[in-house]
Amino acid sequence: MPLMKVLGGGREVGRVALLFEDKGKFLLDYGVNFDEKDRPQLPLHVRPSELDFIAVSHAHLDHIGAAPLMYITGKPRIILTKPTLEISNLLIQDFLKLNSTLVDYEYSEFVKMSEQAIFTDYGKEVDIDGYKIVFMNAGHILGSSSIFIETPSGHKLLYTGDINNIQTWTLSGAELWPVRIDTLIIESTYGSRNHPPRYKVEKRFISVVEEVLSSGGTVLIPAFSVGRSQEVLTILANELPYADIYVDGMAREVCGIYLRYQKYLRDPSVYKRAVERAIFVRGVRERKKALKEPSIIIATAGMLKGGPSLWYLKKLYDNPKNAVLLVSYQAPNSPGHLLLEKGGIDDTEIPFVKARVEWFDFSSHAGRDGLIEIAKMYSQSLRNIVIIHGDSESATSLGKAIRDLLGNDINIIIPSNSDVVNID
């Protein structure tokens, strides 16, 4: 009987780490998250020597940020897409710059991890020690994957990873195969609510940007460097072809990675045109130019925790003609969350922001109904649904909604960290 131990991601968002045992052991993801003081929190430990392999769903730190720990004393094989490794290289280097004294690995361990990589692609079957592994497009960020695994005992499981089943400007929605599975492991970040229709969010977003520019203001868009910056750039470049669009921060490098892996994009020509329209900021001169005239500035970090976005905010906050349009998730107690809640950011030079401030829901996670549809898709063969990567409220709400739809024949499990689950 297969066993699953939850090392992270149980009734919490992030640091997903799932250890499976079935005639061998393997990990699904091994990530980090951050506490209220922004200190990294690692998953529970597993000995690298025990592992046959690690399968990584995508490049965000909450899914791969702790994986280099496995390469201090071990060298398990790691299965992932090429863009996942390339993007995670950027993110982990940045993570170590900020947290090197708080984590036990160095960049050299990431290099060792890279040397053990087995690259796969959507629909390609990988066979390791009796395990059959297939990655499918999860629609979340470039190279993100849902992972199907058939174990040596014949148990079939599907791990959604972070999944988005709606089409966006840059990516197709999740493309899950109609295979028979016994166990579905599903994220629940937004298990208790739906997102507004994307076309309405985009229409409102473009309207506000046009309004600010026409009044002579500058639009600052703090955005996550991976995914959100590229999505927003593509929307703006196509909908507002006359506007000057500046891109600053790590998003510059990630835009280049998206170009190198165009086969993962929904419409490479649309994205390529957007990148050609962008003005990539590479120094103080371009930053000053961006501030001199009405323009759009896409800058990292998305929660205003530092980086170029905070620098621009300090230049733009005091003018009511300007706007700060937040397009990324704002964690509680983050500067972006405080700005939305209080109109300013405590303990900074920005006690009160006169510029227009709004938040737009451009989430790259499926909402409740999208997650339910995934469960319904596999319901004929499903015996177990394991709900992870969501707080207790979201996970419980999703479990109840699935139970109401599919009845009591399916075993629904909402584990906490350190729980061991028997999967029959």
Model confidence band, residue 396 (pLDDT cutoffs 50, 70, 90): very high
**One domain, residues 349 and 215:** yes
**One domain, residues 277 and 142:** no
CA angle 216, 309, 301 (to 5 degrees): 140
Average pLDDT rounded to a whole number, residues 76-87: 98
Amino acid in the structure at residue 48: P
**Residue 323: predicted pLDDT:** 98
3-state secondary structure at position 257:
helix
Model confidence band, residue 424 (pLDDT cutoffs 50, 70, 90): confident
Average pLDDT rounded to a whole number, residues 151-172: 97
3-state secondary structure at position 313:
helix
**Residue 332: predicted pLDDT:** 86
Where do we find the tokens 């165009």?
Answer: 262
Name the more confident of 349 and 51. Answer: 51
**One domain, residues 287 and 388:** no
**One domain, residues 49 and 184:** yes
Helices 307-316 and 284-292, axial angle in degrees (round to 10): 40
Average pLDDT rounded to a whole number, residues 413-417: 98
Average pLDDT rounded to a whole number, residues 81-100: 97
283-292 residue pLDDT tens: 889 999 999 9
**One domain, residues 346 and 221:** yes
Model confidence band, residue 37 (pLDDT cutoffs 50, 70, 90): confident
Distance between CA atoms of residues 286 and 246, nearest Å: 9
Where do we find the tokens 């629909």?
Answer: 123
**One domain, residues 375 and 332:** no
100-125 residue pLDDT tens: 999 999 999 999 999 999 999 999 99
In DSSP terms, 34 is beta-bridged to 40
Per-residue tokens: 274: 């957007």
Amino acid in the structure at residue 379: S
Does position 48 have pLDDT exceeding 90, yes or no?
yes
Distance between CA atoms of residues 43 and 389, nearest Å: 13
Helices 107-115 and 82-99, axial angle in degrees (round to 10): 170
**Residue 36: predicted pLDDT:** 86
DSSP 62-74: HHHTTGGGGGSS-
Distance between CA atoms of residues 199 and 246, nearest Å: 24
Average pLDDT rounded to a whole number, residues 305-326: 95
Sequence-separated (6 or more) residues with CB below 8 Å from residue 227: 140, 141, 142, 170, 364
**One domain, residues 392 and 347:** no
Name the more confident of 183 and 347. Answer: 183
Model confidence band, residue 382 (pLDDT cutoffs 50, 70, 90): very high
Average pLDDT rounded to a whole number, residues 300-324: 95
**One domain, residues 350 and 369:** no
What CATH number is associated with residue 151? 3.60.15.10
Does position 387 have pLDDT exceeding 90, yes or no?
yes
Does position 131 have pLDDT exceeding 90, yes or no?
yes
Amino acid in the structure at residue 72: I
Amino acid in the structure at residue 54: I
Distance between CA atoms of residues 251 and 319, nearest Å: 26
Model confidence band, residue 40 (pLDDT cutoffs 50, 70, 90): very high
**One domain, residues 178 and 205:** no
**One domain, residues 333 and 225:** yes
Model confidence band, residue 423 (pLDDT cutoffs 50, 70, 90): confident
Buried b (16+ CB within 10 A) or exposed e, 197-219: eeeebbeebeebbeebbeeebbb
Model confidence band, residue 331 (pLDDT cutoffs 50, 70, 90): confident
Element (DSSP H or E) covering residue 51: none
Average pLDDT rounded to a whole number, residues 48-52: 96
Boundary (domain end) residue, out of 325, 359, 393:
359
Helices (H) and strands (E) in the chain, counts: 12, 22
**Residue 247: predicted pLDDT:** 98
pLDDT-above-70 percentage for the chain:
100
Q: How many CB atoms lie within 10 A of CB 123?
A: 11
Average pLDDT rounded to a whole number, residues 135-149: 98
Per-residue tokens: 54: 């690690």
In DSSP terms, 156 is beta-bridged to 150
The rounded mean pLDDT for the chain is 96
Q: Give the number of domains in the chain.
A: 2
Per-residue tokens: 61: 């730190």
CA angle 58, 60, 66 (to 5 degrees): 95
**Residue 324: predicted pLDDT:** 98
What CATH number is associated with residue 340? 3.40.50.10890
**Residue 4: predicted pLDDT:** 97
Does position 347 have pLDDT exceeding 90, yes or no?
no
Distance between CA atoms of residues 295 and 209, nearest Å: 9
Where do we find the tokens 């196509």?
Answer: 238
Domain of 105?
Answer: 3-193+364-422
Boundary (domain end) residue, out of 315, 330, 359:
359
**Residue 113: predicted pLDDT:** 98
**One domain, residues 209 and 346:** yes
Sequence-separated (6 or more) residues with CB below 8 Å from residue 315: 291
2-35 residue pLDDT tens: 899 999 999 999 999 999 999 899 999 999 999 9
Does position 349 have pLDDT exceeding 80, yes or no?
no
**One domain, residues 19 and 96:** yes
Asked whether the beta carbons of 345 and 312 are under 8 A apart, the reply is no
**Residue 346: predicted pLDDT:** 75
219-275 residue pLDDT tens: 999 999 999 999 999 999 999 999 999 999 999 999 999 999 999 999 999 999 999
Boundary (domain end) residue, out of 344, 359, 374:
359
Distance between CA atoms of residues 18 and 10, nearest Å: 9
